[in-house]
Chain A
Amino acid sequence: MRKSTPFLLAVCTAVAVGVVGCTSDVPGASPSAGPSGAGTGETSKFFVQADHDNELALRTKSATGPADKPWEQALDPKTVDTAKYKKAGPYNLCFSNAGVGNPWRQVGFKNMQAEVKLHPEIKSFTVADAESKDDKQISDITDLLGKGCDALIVSPNTTATLTPAVEQACAKVPVIVFDRGVNTKCPVTFINPIGGYAFGATGAEFLVEKVKPKGKVLALRILPGVDVLEARWGAAKVVFDKSELDVVGVEFTDGDAAKTKTIVSNYIQRFGDIDGIWMDAGATAVAAAEAFEDAGKPFPAIVGEDQQDFLKMWQDKKLTAIAPTYPTYQWRTPVIAALKILNGEAVASPWKLPQPTITADNLSQFVQKDMPPLHYAMCGCATLPGYPGDWGGK
């Protein structure tokens, strides 16, 4: 008896695992049954068909405004009158920032600070960093309102929770919201690029074009439940469901390089080959591509973003790739909008910025060898004061 307990346990465990191993079907069969890519799962409750269709249409609209300054351009603009906000300078501009917790926001915030330096009429620029916390941002906005702001820029941490705070601010000063939105029309304008649906669809359409029918595609998402990211995946899902591609998995990476590489390595091991990688954000695209390199497999067609590490790898290794962007130059626009509003000039509302895509044809324009690996190319910052040193470049 004394000797048999652990032995029995060992055998049972292994047998149990072994039985599962012997009886389950071929690996590909479990996640995707139908030819129409049933592997993409249920449609998310975030998916809004009208917004989706609108964004996809906006991709081909031409923008008004100076061609060399996309951050001043607007797509399909409807302007609002701002005469009632007209005020003599100099101004005290305030900014409630959701946080600088990722490289995208760090680059963006530098763009904004540099844009402020371009305008001598801005006497002071007061910033409150909410450190990605809703409650801190709510109290930040209240604090800022007590500091004599002439206009308030808000980059909300989350949509629903920040709405009442923004409404409260609207009653006192002109408010400009950008990046993530709020559920109220009270801000003078809301600035963002075309959006997540367009981003997600562009990448997915590229894979449909480059990957052979029945080819295996792995979709990598950061995390569920964030509207911008849900929109990206929602649009990609629509494209994949219509295609003949086999979506073998949809995984969450937390935006982490090590986790991404492990997940991709696991899929390569399980399926032998993966033909396409779709990502809802490109920060871990290099890690995903490296997994193929280390496994001795050819690179797949891959969707990345405009971060330098990926663009450089794309160029060096001649990847089949595309980089939809969510340009950081949108951080310049709120400052420009605020000054227009305080000057009584009409502004676009909503202010939809163009959302360029980097392809093999224009890649060389965006590879910047002297910029750090986590820098975002689509920053519109090359002519700003302090460039490139303030962005970490040489």
Chain B
Amino acid sequence: MAAIIETRHLTHIYNAGMPDATTALEDVSFAVEEGEFVGIIGSTGSGKSTLVTHLNGILKPTSGQVLLDGKDIWAKNNDIRKCRFMVGLVFQYPEYQLFEETIYKDIAFGPKNMGVDDAEIDRRVRRAAAFTGLPEEYLERSPFELSGGQKRRVAIAGVLAMEPRVLVLDEPAAGLDPEGRDMILSQIKQYHKETGTTVLLVSHSMEDIAKYADKVLVMNQKKIAMYDKVDKVFARADELLALGLSVPQVTKIFLKLRQMGVDVPQDVYTVPYAVKTILQAKAARDQKQEGTEC
């Protein structure tokens, strides 16, 4: 399958040429295929946010390329706005971007800028609102009456309504309570499953990434440290810990178990899978014991 989004030797330097120039990204190359769900993780200041703001052309790379469908988005005669409609980017704390009188109008801002007709806008707004779990009767209310978590859903719906082929979310669950966090993330997963949209999810939480993503991109010190399937990355739990990142609790337990000499697989990162492996190990041991008793 062809990559839908790709970066080649992407480097970004803030305030290039000034005395306070700081490198935020260094030689980052990776590719995401259509329909994948990729988690991006890394400690604060590792370049995650800078990386994702390049993907729809908000930031221009200092050097290197960003390719969308195989085409350089900064090539001459390329309409950068088209890229922005194709790659929907939800920033950190997106609730602060709301401005319209009603939720309906705010969600319609993106599609309106795309120039689609009113019937299509209506369809998109209702669809996006449904996906983010906003009740129909909310649409005519002011977004400023809502709670923080609900505002965030409106903001995410505003990006979903553009129906982008790639959806990029920069810590969509930051600052929410555990319930709100699970809700938003599972809605995104649901959207991914139903529409086949490619999703890139930036998160601090290894648990979330383990639960929702197919692949993980680990950023460290402005560079890519690892980029692989979730199980393969978590199999290197000790390396992740060395990078100062946490790993899911279960993975930690299994790492300890292995260090104690128990024969368990390396790639355990979700609780259901952990339960299964433990039961398997127990069954194997029981069989062994029965064998010796006989």
State whether these chains interact: no
Residues of chain A at the chain B interface (Cβ within 8 Å): none
